[in-house]
Structure 1
Amino acid sequence: MSVTSDRIALHGHFASELADLSVPWQAEGTPDPQLLVLNDRLAADLGLDPDWLRTPDGIGLLTGTALPDGATPVAQAYAGHQFGGYSPRLGDGRALLLGEVVDADGRLRDLHLKGSGRTPFARGGDGLAAVGPMLREYVVSEAMHALGIPTTRSLAVVATGRRVRRDELLPGAVLTRVASSHLRVGSFQYAAATGDRALLTRLADHAIARHHPQAAGAARPHLALFDAVVAAQASLVAAWMSVGFVHGVMNTDNMTISGETIDYGPCAFLDAFDPATVYSSIDHDGRYSYGNQPVVAEWNLARLAEALLPLIDDDQDRAVELAVESLGAFRPQYSAAWSAAMRTKLGLPAGLDDAVATTLVDELLVLAERSQVDHTSLYRALAASARGDADAARGLFLDLRDVDDWSARWLATGPDPDAMDRVNPVHVPRNHLVEEALDAAVAGDLGPFERLVDVVTSPYETRPGLERYAAPAPDDFGRYRTFCGT
């Protein structure tokens, strides 16, 4: 079955330019597809008619079962370090790249499926996805976009009418997502492992053209590509840390070359501030804890550097020297991005001495951890304190003498509460609300999910009647655990 080509222009740049890194494949049929959620605004940005996407042909596109003539869907190949262990052949085990579309700004965007069935990379998996995890990715990725954090986007979730066996039988679904591309560190690891330098070069040049075109004019364009990815990831992870986002599974196959957040599996947002926080049920040693995320990002980038060595310089020792020097930029770039974000979160004036600002940030985080203060609520409460409500933030802490001392020094800097409110969200996808919405959706009631999406996609807006969406988890919510959904 095909859809009329005048409805969508679906390109196959990756499929044609990097055929060695993919396998042509088709999505499995959907017995009884039902559209659960559609991102109308994103659809319009992609030049797609939301009303048409709600038709049987449109839903066929969203599930990969009805594509334009000439479409070349592929399962992408990549390798990856998973929890530190190298797997030479991973790839899209339950996903398909349908192709690329050109958005309203003339940018190329991937149209990609998750949960569309087994592929040659599926290994022991069933290639399917359940409604709950796909709706989780939808709400969290759209919240991240609303927070201004680079991310893949969610276009739609379609229930397939097929049951998926996990710990129990669950309703199945397909997520349609959009990205600048799905090139990952693992893509380069896979290409490098083939020993085919020409393939690695084609991949690197494809990445430069698509994401970092400024690197093309550099004396060493592939080193400049690495520099650009280092900078993008330093900025991205600092943004994660500033809002309390915990990715949960920072394997090298889940780190993009574009600098977009990808693969929202066991992700969550901090409740009480604690750098050791781990939510993922499979992260037994805390490798991907909240506080470890910058360290892991640097480790992943080192793996990208290793893959790129043959392109950086013909002399391996010189290539290593150059790569190490470039990787050394990550820590100062991350620190600068993190410091800038925290200065803004605290409303600190531009001329404040860096040492004073750093001390204020460091001391606040120690106090917050000691008192298990809710991460998201804290900064809005501090803004209220800066407006004269002395008890707004004070009441969150146990160490009143220490917090009073800190507050006096912070208030003496003249913090700007309006600037704070512009960057500190009232609403994030709080874990208890996400679970509540997903439980209802799986049971057939999409109302709580739709309300949650509405709230978190206006994260800085205080609206009457939404107080429970800004409140921390109730005491009886207990210890939170997340799962990959496979």
Structure 2
Amino acid sequence: MSNFTVQHSLADLGAPFSEPCNPTPVAAPQWLAFNAELAAELCLPQQYWHSDDGLAVFSGNTVPDWASPLAHAYAGHQFGHFVPQLGDGRALLLAEVLSADNQRFDIQLKGAGQTPFSRRGDGRAPLGPVLREYLVSEAMHALGVPTTRALAAVLTGDWVQRETAEPGAILTRVASSHIRIGSFQYLAARGDHAQLKTFADYVINRHYPECASEANPYLALLAAVVAAQAKLIAKWMSMGFIHGVMNTDNMSIAGETIDYGPCAFMDSFNPAQVYSFIDTQGRYAWGNQPRIASWNLARFAETLLPLLTEQPEQAVELATAVLQDFNGLNEAEFLHLMAAKIGIVTATDTDEVLIRDLLNLMSANNADFSQSFRLLSHSVSDINAGAAVLFADKQGWTSWAKKWQQRLATQGIALIKVSQQMDNTNPALIARNHLVAEAIKQATEQADLTLFNRLQQALAKPYTLSDANADFALPPQPQQLVKNTFCGT
């Protein structure tokens, strides 16, 4: 493809924003997956499409002439505790490319070996987390959730040591950038306001150019990031998604989902649901995600204070006013998304009560989150059909469903159209935890990618249910439940 356009704007900034670093070669790379659709969007030359040349690049064994590998520097609050230097400990940015529609994207190798920020780690990634991120990030993209994406996955032929020795793998990740709240925290901790300003100007130019013409560009930047995160978290919540490790170094400035570690889509609805093995206090539970996002954004605002105004007290006042918008933006977006899930086109304040009552009913009955909403479209004209089967409390279900049907009637929209709209809003297929875990197990223990490949194909069309993928729509049986997920670092 002759339109393959490469740039290196982050590399051009130099230190302290990043450090040059080449990937560490691997023993015997093999292809696991390649995303041809994404490759086409990036105008990636066909010589790298599931080929020997591509395998050499995406395993880190060859650095092509268009790449300038670097490790990005950042800090972060991890479970509330500040670490002044983290950085890309196992990831390397190869290049920035311009897509067919002139959008800029990073191409990054994850698991490519040690970097200046590895902190005694091996810089590698086990096979399991690579397959998990590939499946879940692409599933999120198909659901319309802003996210990093997966371009390629390769087996390295080496072993990595975690709890046990595991096959090593490398993920090629694509993002509008890999800049995080922690990127700003790293610079703020160094106390160099000139570098902080340089970086803030760079981020504005790259992600939020409309802010440059505002009276206070850095306050406008804060407001833009707050708005993007408010919408993103609402989208997560509406899909029953739990990120699992919402540290400040795992929150993208671009408002994309990034760093899929112990993530999961919940099965039975539980606002306190946690999957991450290390989140013993439930800090990053489903229902806590807006609060944590708000807290993280406050940490971002702190880094910008010296740029907002020379008066410290006034800077705090300006930032606080913007931060206070988060809850309203997040709640409004969540109401809009959840209303659509139950067939309501234009949400009102009273619909908030209707939605809350349904969620409470789902929680009390251990109803599956995704199935509840997907089957609800079959209950539009018959409250004894569809989702009714998920509720042991028949009286509670009937009481709610009658109020809901009365609300739908006020819209003056044909029920068949309401049902169709709901099926286009509520996915039949999500990356269910037990299926992802089984795909990882088969790949790791038997070198069998059959289930992984089936899931890839099915999850690319999450609103379409067919006989071939009907089994993927079912919640896990008790013996299939997966209660804990892991980062793999």
C-alpha distance in structure 2 between counterparts of 1:482 and 1:113, whole Å: 22
Residue matched to 2:280 = 284
C-alpha distance in structure 1 between counterparts of 2:381 and 2:443, whole Å: 40
Question: Structure 2 unaligned runs (5+)?
Answer: 409-414
Q: Once the 2 structures are TM-superposed, how far is the Cα of residue 124 of structure 1 from its aligned partner?
A: 2.9
What amino acid does structure 2 have at the position aligned with 1:16? D
Equivalent position to 1:31, from 16, 27, 31: 27
Q: Does 1:185 find its partner at 2:181?
A: yes
Structure 1's 429 and 89: CA in aligned 2 closer, same or farther, altered over 3 A? Answer: same
What amino acid does structure 1 have at the position aligned with 2:202? H
Residue matched to 2:351 = 357
Equivalent position to 1:275, from 255, 271, 275: 271
Tell me the number of residue pairs that the alignment of Structure 1 and Structure 2 aligns: 480
What amino acid does structure 1 have at the position aligned with 2:336? A
What amino acid does structure 2 have at the position aligned with 1:457? A
Q: Once the 2 structures are TM-superposed, how far is the Cα of residue 53 of structure 1 from its aligned partner?
A: 2.8
C-alpha distance in structure 2 between counterparts of 1:403 and 1:389, whole Å: 8
Equivalent position to 2:140, from 131, 140, 144: 144
Residue matched to 2:412 = none
Equivalent position to 2:319, from 316, 319, 323: 323
Q: Does 1:428 find its partner at 2:446?
A: no
What amino acid does structure 2 have at the position aligned with 1:180? S
Residue matched to 1:481 = 484
C-alpha distance in structure 2 between counterparts of 1:479 and 1:58, whole Å: 35
Residue matched to 2:411 = none
C-alpha distance in structure 1 between counterparts of 2:74 and 2:349, whole Å: 43
Residue matched to 1:470 = 473
TM-score, with normalisation over the residues of structure 1? 0.96
Q: Report Cα offsets for 1:88-144 as digits up to 9, x if no partner.
A: 000001110111011111111101111001112111311101111101100000000
Q: Does 1:341 find its partner at 2:343?
A: no
Residue matched to 1:375 = 369
Q: Once the 2 structures are TM-superposed, how far is the Cα of residue 56 of structure 1 from its aligned partner?
A: 2.2
Q: Once the 2 structures are TM-superposed, how far is the Cα of residue 428 of structure 1 from its aligned partner?
A: 0.2
Matched position secondary structure for 1:36:
strand
TM-score, with normalisation over the residues of structure 2? 0.96
Structure 1's 94 and 340: CA in aligned 2 closer, same or farther, altered over 3 A? Answer: same
C-alpha distance in structure 1 between counterparts of 2:171 and 2:345, whole Å: 43
Matched position secondary structure for 2:424:
helix
C-alpha distance in structure 1 between counterparts of 2:61 and 2:309, whole Å: 45
Matched position secondary structure for 1:423:
coil
Q: Once the 2 structures are TM-superposed, how far is the Cα of residue 412 of structure 1 from its aligned partner?
A: 1.0
Q: Once the 2 structures are TM-superposed, how far is the Cα of residue 59 of structure 1 from its aligned partner?
A: 1.5
C-alpha distance in structure 2 between counterparts of 1:60 and 1:77, whole Å: 26
Q: Once the 2 structures are TM-superposed, how far is the Cα of residue 158 of structure 1 from its aligned partner?
A: 0.7
C-alpha distance in structure 2 between counterparts of 1:6 and 1:54, whole Å: 18
C-alpha distance in structure 2 between counterparts of 1:296 and 1:220, whole Å: 26
Q: Does 1:195 find its partner at 2:188?
A: no
Structure 1's 447 and 478: CA in aligned 2 closer, same or farther, altered over 3 A? Answer: closer
Equivalent position to 2:294, from 284, 293, 298: 298
RMSD of equivalent CA atoms: 1.5
Matched position secondary structure for 1:395:
helix
C-alpha distance in structure 1 between counterparts of 2:159 and 2:52, whole Å: 21
Residue matched to 1:444 = 447
Structure 1's 428 and 70: CA in aligned 2 closer, same or farther, altered over 3 A? Answer: closer
Matched position secondary structure for 1:257:
coil
C-alpha distance in structure 2 between counterparts of 1:269 and 1:236, whole Å: 15
Residue matched to 1:397 = 391
C-alpha distance in structure 2 between counterparts of 1:124 and 1:52, whole Å: 32
Q: Write the mapping of 1:126-141 to structure 2, written as runs, cut at 5 A.
A: 126-141=122-137
C-alpha distance in structure 1 between counterparts of 2:382 and 2:209, whole Å: 49
Matched position secondary structure for 1:214:
helix
